[in-house]
């Protein structure tokens, strides 16, 4: 059998070959594909139509939304414009107020700055003056150090301070500097005492070099301080003995003398740390005095001298008081005489006033008669006869008392 015979099929009573069947199937498939393509294009066109409608609806909604948005934007622009104007107005007002406050603050700060600068200039002027004073004080301190570094000038410094206190507290003639005693010694000062008593001797040659040695040794060590203290004790005891031997002369000077210490701090240190020296000086009838104690002693002596001068002038004062009492008695006598003259004059004035009152009453009665009836004659009263005025003024005798 041949291949076409083998590949033949029978369908609906008809025989078809395989090629025919394949051709029919191909045509059928082509038709199906065409139908499917047409159906797909139709659906695509419908979808595109629906999409276009949706797009149109969307565009319309977008246009409406855009219109609404434009309206809202216009409203917002108006609101923003009004708010911006209000904000600009408020900001302008605040800026004006702030500028005024800033101007006032700047003006106040400027005035305050000027005032502070003025005060600063005053303070600087005070500081300059203080600096000048400090420089002058520094020069004085340097000069004082130079004085204290020299033994002779140091003694002159203590003597100068003592002389200043004496000269300020006592009158001229009540003291003497560097006098010569009978034994040839010359104390620094003698003060005249009242009632013819011997003068008081004051010595100002305090051993400051030994004291400065104590101060310098205190910083180096304890042993050096002890050695310096012993040396100071020996020097001042020797000086106390010299004062007692040279200046305490029986009948010529007081039995007590003053040793002048030119510093309050040194005086306090001596009484605090060198009690034995103070007791030895007291036993030797030497009184250690500081500037304040010397000033107090001088004031007491001045009061005693003043009391003595008052007692010396007591008889003169009593004589002047007696003359004053005589003048006072004479003045009292003359005042009493003048008082009597005034009493007599006052009595005459009272009598004149009484006569004037009587004349005034008579004149009033005469004036009242003018208003009575014409037919009624006036009857003079027998008891109202004019009386002569007793004028004793002419009888006043003025007496002038001339007494020496």
Residues 235-264: what's their mean pLDDT? Answer: 88
The answer to whether residue 68 is domain-embedded is yes
15 pLDDT tier (thresholds 50, 70, 90): low
Q: What is the mean pLDDT of residues 10-38?
A: 75
Residues 57 and 123 in one domain: yes
User: How many domains does the chain contain in total?
Assistant: 2
In terms of domains, do 271 and 181 share one?
yes
Sign of CA dihedral 260, 264, 267, 271: positive
pLDDT of residue 218: 66
Is 146 inside any structural domain?
A: no
pLDDT at 391 over 50: no
CB atoms under 10 Å from CB of 175, counted, come to: 21
CA-closest candidate to residue 183, choices 114, 243, 271, 256: 243
Q: Is the pLDDT of residue 28 over 50?
A: yes
pLDDT in tens, 64-73: 888 888 888 8
Backbone angles phi, psi at 53, to 5 degrees: -65, -45
Q: What is the pLDDT of residue 398?
A: 37
Q: Examine residue 292 and state whether it is found in any structural domain, yes or no.
A: yes
Whether residue 355 is contained in a domain is answered as no
Question: Is 319 among the domain residues?
Answer: no
Q: Side-chain half-sphere of 168: how many Cα atoms within 13 Å?
A: 11
pTM, two decimals, is 0.42
* 125/161 same-domain check: no
Picking from 285, 295, 286, 231, the residue whose alpha carbon sits closest to that of residue 262 is 295
108 and 205 together in one domain: no
Domain end (from 262, 291, 312):
312
The percent of residues above 90 in pLDDT, for the chain, comes to: 2
pLDDT for 388 equals 45
Q: What is the CATH number of the domain that holds 270?
A: 3.40.1350
Q: Confirm whether 120 is domain-assigned.
A: yes
Tens digit of pLDDT for each residue in 87-111? 888 888 888 888 888 888 888 888 8
Residues 114 and 215 in one domain: no
Q: What is the pLDDT of residues 213-227, one digit of tens each?
A: 777 776 676 777 788
Distance between CA atoms of residues 303 and 306, nearest Å:
5
Residue 344 belongs to some domain of the structure: no
The partner residues of 11 in beta bridges, in order of sequence, read: 14
Q: What are the pLDDT digits (tens) for 336-378?
A: 888 888 888 888 888 888 888 888 888 888 888 755 444 455 4
pLDDT band at 297 (very low <50, low <70, confident <90, very high): confident
Closest CA to 159 of 171, 149, 147, 169: 147
Domain identity same for 117 and 218 = no
Q: Is 150 part of a structural domain of the chain?
A: no
Q: Mean pLDDT for the chain?
A: 78
**So what's the pLDDT on residue 400?**
36
Residue 119 DSSP class: H
Residues 177 and 62 in one domain: no
Give yes or no for a contact between 202 and 260, defined as CB atoms under 8 angstroms apart.
Answer: yes
Q: Which spans in 221-257 are helix H?
A: 222-247
pLDDT score recorded for residue 7: 52
pLDDT score at 221: 67
Task: Please give the Cα distance from 157 to 235 (Å, whole number).
Answer: 19
Q: Considering 73, 103, 136, which residue would you say is the last residue of a domain? A: 136
Same domain, 53 and 125: yes
pLDDT tens-digit readout, 52-63: 788 788 788 888
Q: What are 359's two structure tokens?
A: 């004349």
What's the Cα-to-Cα distance from 302 to each of 160, 168, 201, 256, 355, rounded to whole Å? 20, 11, 16, 18, 73
Other CB atoms within 10 A of residue 304 CB: 14
Residues 248 and 212 in one domain: yes
- Of 312, 341, 375, the last residue of a domain is 312
Instruction: Report pLDDT for 397.
Output: 39
Q: In terms of domains, do 67 and 16 share one? A: yes
Q: Is there a single domain that holds both residue 162 and residue 298?
A: yes
Residue 394 has pLDDT above 60, yes or no: no
pLDDT digits (tens, 9 = 90+) for 255-289: 889 999 888 888 888 888 888 888 998 898 999 99
Domain range enclosing 279: 157-312
Residues 220 and 117 reside in one and the same domain: no
Least confident of 146-150, 221-225, 327-331: 146-150
């Amino acid at each position: 059998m041949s291949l076409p015979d083998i590949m033949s099929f029978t369908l609906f009573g008809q025989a078809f070959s395989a090629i025919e069947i394949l051709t029919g199937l191909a045509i059928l498939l082509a038709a199906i594909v065409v139908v499917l393509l047409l159906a797909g294009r139709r659906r695509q066109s419908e979808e595109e139509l629906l999409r276009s409608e949706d797009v149109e609806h969307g565009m319309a909604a977008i246009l409406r939304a855009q219109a609404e948005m434009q309206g809202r934007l216009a409203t917002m622009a108006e609101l923003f414009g009004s708010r911006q104007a209000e904000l600009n107005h408020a900001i302008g007002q605040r800026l004006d107020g702030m500028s005024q406050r800033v101007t006032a603050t700047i003006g106040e700060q400027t005035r305050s700055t000027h005032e502070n600068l003025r005060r600063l200039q005053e303070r600087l002027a005070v500081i300059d003056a203080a600096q000048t004073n400090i420089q002058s004080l520094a020069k004085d301190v340097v000069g004082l150090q130079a004085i204290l570094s020299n033994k002779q000038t140091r003694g002159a410094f203590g003597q100068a301070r003592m002389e200043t206190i004496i000269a300020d507290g006592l009158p001229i003639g009540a003291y003497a500097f560097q006098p010569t005693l009978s034994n040839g010694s010359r104390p620094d000062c003698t003060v005249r005492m009242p009632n013819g008593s011997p003068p008081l001797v004051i010595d100002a040659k305090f051993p400051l070099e030994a004291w400065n040695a104590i101060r310098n040794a205190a910083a180096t060590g304890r042993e050096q301080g002890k050695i310096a203290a012993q040396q100071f004790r020996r020097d001042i005891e020797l000086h106390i003995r010299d004062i007692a031997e040279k200046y305490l002369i029986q009948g010529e000077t007081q039995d007590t003398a003053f040793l002048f210490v030119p510093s309050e701090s040194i005086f306090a240190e001596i009484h605090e740390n060198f009690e034995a020296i103070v007791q030895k000086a007291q036993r030797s009838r030497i009184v250690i005095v500081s500037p304040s104690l010397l000033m107090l002693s001088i004031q007491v002596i001045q009061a005693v001298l003043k009391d003595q001068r008052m007692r010396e002038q007591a008889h003169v004062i009593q004589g002047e008081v007696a003359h004053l009492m005589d003048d006072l008695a004479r003045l009292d006598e003359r005042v009493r005489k003048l008082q009597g003259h005034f009493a007599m004059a006052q009595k005459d004035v009272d009598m004149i006033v009484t006569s004037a009152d009587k004349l005034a009453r008579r004149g009033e009665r005469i004036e009242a008669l003018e208003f009575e009836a014409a037919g009624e004659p006036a009857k003079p009263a027998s008891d109202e006869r004019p009386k002569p005025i007793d004028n004793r003024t002419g009888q006043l005798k003025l007496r002038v008392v001339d007494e020496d």
